[in-house]
Amino acid sequence: MLFKESAIEVGAQAENKADAIRKVGALLVKSGNIEPGYVDSMMAREEVANTFLGNGISIPHGIPKDRDLIKQTGVAVLQLPQGVEWNEGEIAHLVVGIAAKSDEHLTVLSNLTDVLGDADEAARLATTDDAGEIAQRLSGGQLSPSEETPEDYDEGFDFTVTSPHGLHARPATALVDIAKVFDANVRVRNGNKAGDAKSLIGLLKLGIDNGTTIRVSAEGTDAIKALAAIQTALEEGLEDEDEAQAEAANVPISRANKVQYEGQTITGISASPGIAIGSVTTFRRGRIVVEEKAHQDVSAEQERLNSALASSKDELSTLYRDMLNKSGAAKAAIFKAQTEFLDDPEMLRDARALIAKGHSAGWSWQQTYEGHAAALSAMQDEILSARALDLRDVGRRLLKLLADKVEDDPELPDSPIILLADDLTPSDTAGLDPKFVLGLCTASGGPTSHTAIIARSLDIPAVVSAGPNILSMSDGATVILDGSAGVLVIQPTRNDNAQAEEAFKAHQRQVIADRLACYQPAIMTDGERIEVVANIGSVDEAKSAVEAGGEGVGLLRTEFQFLQRDTEPSEAEQYEACSAMMKALNGLPMIVRTLDIGGDKDVPYLPMPQEMNPFLGVRGIRLCLQREDLFRTQLRAILRASSQGPIRIMYPMIATMEELLAAKAITEEVRLEVGAGPIEIGMMIEIPSAVMMAEDFAKEVDFFSIGTNDLTQYALAVDRMHPQLAKMADGLHPSVLRLIRKTVEAADAAGIWVGACGGIAGDPMGAVILSGLGVRELSVSIPAIAAVKAKVRTVSMDEARDLAARALACTKASDVRALV
Ligand code: PEP
Ligand code: MG
């Protein structure tokens, strides 16, 4: 039994929230669940996390690191019929104190989640004078008929989970993805709780630990197939590798000198190296206000929710693309994973049920996501807490669209500061201008948190998990943030400042040296030259590419001109954009890739059929050949602008000779129409068929550019957007390297040159291997230009060829990566 009736006090009173926490803590002490010190931990938790679930229920609990103050897992309830203000405007009547050594308290949490969706039930529990009634309800003993745990389906199997973290977010997401492939209804049971296998929330709420035996059952025409697929996946471990370890391996080695500080420090965990000295600002989010009562009838409120869901998905897909462009697939996958929550059947069902009871769409959504997120974070598991943060982030994004008003929405920093925050969500960081953030320090989060990943990709020093005290610092205080040592020096001495400044300057000198050298060509130690150019999507990026030392543009992703608007850009707009880029490049060459829409890049105003496999569907050149009007307009703009500088045209996604010849024929017609001069034509090599036919294609074009992102996706049959499989899609896999070698051999035989513009061109090791394979031009993201050039300068072509030869001989991507 999780809680004794003596741990429930009905008819209690509390002066304020702190008093309520002290009283519920005292109940836990009295029942022998915790040491008195754990009550302070419950208070501290409140500083960094909101434990108010909604419907008058809050669940104070301590910080994970104080778990050793828990003697025995247990729950206590303080019933406050008159209520106490938990947060502004939020009154708690049932204060459920939780002391959880492991996950036994999940049953209570999931029962709470049930109560959460039922305002009448919550009100009844808030006023009953029978402690037994509360105990029974929270033990799951009194489910109303509609909430009864459903029976298992006839077909099914039992499985004992053996992974160390149980069925945590990653394997659960993988299981949901598999279940969704089938039409069958699939149910997973853990004891007396059952959940929909297509709902991530539903699965996580089951609290499946290591050693738990679950029953998976299904019904429907493809039930047997679904069960077989799920059983195989469970037996194979469902992608369950240690996430923390995998990410921690990517933490870069510090470049800063080590400093011993004399002043008062707060120690956290190093998340991104480097030192920053500056004044602090605490990041606060605005308060989103939603009225509980519906403004309109039920169907109109349901419709408001639908349209907010659609808009949030659009926003996330734009963020995904921006992040993909700036920081690569792994970081962008965060937004892809967030989208899953917006499709979660359990969340949607709960929100819709509240709307059906006459509540507003905003309030219903808020109750639903806050309740589920609080239940996830209370599981005291680092991975699940991260999912809770994601859920709150996406929940808030949608809620803003349904809000009656947003109060005190914070101004984002517009001068350089060190930012303090509880934790930053993906959306928070996407909205920050990195040039104003000298450093980041968060109270919670870990080295694998989103904040840490983003800080590393932007090269901003960061410390995470520094504890709630950082949030009581006054804005404007001067501190030293030492990301390498994982400390925030809150009262630096003069000596500390002097040392930190010296370490900072040393780091800066290195950055400046790199920066100065970025304008020099990338010449290897034996005199061979590799061109390093940029991948861009806009006029601003053309300017930044030149400033960063790019020797031109190797890939203009023209589709970015088509996104985030309501109609397609006119010929004049496209011409203006191309001309402005040529002006910014001031004589440097630019490869303009024709429209590559489709796959993950969806344009709402171009009606395209929903596809089962969009990456294998009407994408890139296939769309252009179907929509010749679009293609011709774009070609007219590019060819007209070609009089202003060295522009080359490149076609994406060429799979067959017919496609290439058709595209070339249209281009030639348009060229004659606009009276443009001859222009170099190239094609992307990103589909294995193009590699196999490279000798023939090489006779038809002036150059190849290898799109290693797609080539890897199609060679390894791994969806490049797949959140779980993204790690498998390594462009350094020997199969991809062998395809590249074959492409270069075909190009050499025909006397044309080869570039590469996928992600591995911007990876210093990838850059050397590609050079050794005979790729002459590396087109990389703007922030990678200086590092790639610097790396190329450290080796000779002989060394690069030797490394490439050894890489080609490998049989695994990990063996290739282990070569250096
Ligand atoms: C690629 O596929 O490697 C590439 C550079 O193109 P995109 O990422 O735009 O598909
Ligand atoms: Mg591509």
Pick the closest to residue 576 from 619, 653, 640 (CA basis).
640
348 lines ligand 1 (CB under 6 A): no
Instruction: Give the list of residues 6+ apart from residue 616 with CB closer than 8 angstroms, or none.
Output: none
Q: Which domains does the chain have, with CATH numbers?
A: 5-145 (3.40.930.10), 155-240 (3.30.1340.10), 246-284+410-516 (3.50.30.10), 287-407 (1.10.274.10), 519-819 (3.20.20.60)
**715 CA to centre of ligand 1 in angstroms:** 14
Pocket test for ligand 1, best of 557, 561, 600, 779 (most atoms within 8 A of CB): 557
In sign, the C-alpha dihedral spanning 327, 565, 437, 285 is: negative
396/306 Cα distance (integer angstroms): 15
pLDDT tens string 628-668: 999 999 999 999 999 999 999 999 999 999 999 999 999 99
Residue type, 44: A
* Mean pLDDT calculated for residue range 138-165: 70
Model pLDDT, residue 435? 76
In the predicted structure, residue 675 carries a pLDDT above the cut 90? yes
Is 230 within 8 Å of 155 (Cβ atoms)? Answer: no
708 lines ligand 1 (CB under 6 A): yes
Pick the range with the lowest mean pLDDT from 327-336, 586-595, 664-673: 327-336
- Comparing 741 with 33, which gets the higher pLDDT? 741
Task: List Cα–Cα distances, 105 to 110, 141, 382, 504, 737, in angstroms.
Answer: 9, 15, 16, 47, 50
- Comparing 543 with 385, which gets the higher pLDDT? 543
581 DSSP 8-state letter:
H
* Mean pLDDT calculated for residue range 673-694: 97
In sign, the C-alpha dihedral spanning 439, 441, 446, 449 is: negative
pLDDT tens string 685-705: 999 999 999 999 999 999 999
**706 CA to centre of ligand 1 in angstroms:** 9
**637 CA to centre of ligand 2 in angstroms:** 22
Which pTM value belongs to this model?
A: 0.53
**Environment class of 436 (CB within 10 Å of its CB; exposed 0-12, middle 13-18, buried 19+):** middle
Q: From the centroid of its chain, how far is CA 629?
A: 36
pLDDT tens string 101-119: 765 555 566 566 556 556 7
With a pLDDT cut of 90, the percent of the chain lying above it is 44
* Mean pLDDT calculated for residue range 26-33: 90
In the predicted structure, residue 243 carries a pLDDT above the cut 50? no
When pLDDT is cut at 50, 70 and 90, the band that residue 143 belongs to is very low
Which atom of ligand 1 is the closest one to the Cα of 557? 9
659 lines ligand 1 (CB under 6 A): no
Pocket test for ligand 1, best of 709, 719, 720, 736 (most atoms within 8 A of CB): 709
435/459 Cα distance (integer angstroms): 11
Mean pLDDT for all residues in the chain:
85
Strand partners, 523: 529
Mean pLDDT comparison of 33-47, 523-537, 563-577, highest-scoring range: 523-537
719 lines ligand 1 (CB under 6 A): no
Model pLDDT, residue 319? 81
In 2-51, which ranges are E strands? 8-9
Strands 478-482 and 275-282: antiparallel
In the predicted structure, residue 606 carries a pLDDT above the cut 80? yes
pLDDT tens string 264-301: 999 888 777 789 999 999 987 778 888 988 888 999 99
238 lines ligand 1 (CB under 6 A): no
Among protein residues, the one whose CA lies closest to atom 4 of ligand 1: 707
- Comparing 763 with 92, which gets the higher pLDDT? 92
- Comparing 319 with 244, which gets the higher pLDDT? 319
pLDDT tens string 319-354: 887 777 666 555 677 777 788 889 899 899 999 999
Is 73 within 8 Å of 104 (Cβ atoms)? Answer: yes
762 DSSP 8-state letter:
G
pLDDT tens string 365-417: 999 998 888 887 776 666 666 778 788 889 998 998 998 887 766 666 778 89
Model pLDDT, residue 638? 98
In the predicted structure, residue 196 carries a pLDDT above the cut 50? yes
Model pLDDT, residue 142? 37
Model pLDDT, residue 247? 33
Mean pLDDT comparison of 178-182, 421-425, 523-527, highest-scoring range: 523-527
- Comparing 735 with 75, which gets the higher pLDDT? 735
Strands 185-190 and 213-219: antiparallel
In the predicted structure, residue 500 carries a pLDDT above the cut 50? yes
**711 CA to centre of ligand 1 in angstroms:** 8
- Comparing 200 with 152, which gets the higher pLDDT? 152
180/198 Cα distance (integer angstroms): 6
Model pLDDT, residue 156? 92
**50 CA to centre of ligand 1 in angstroms:** 42
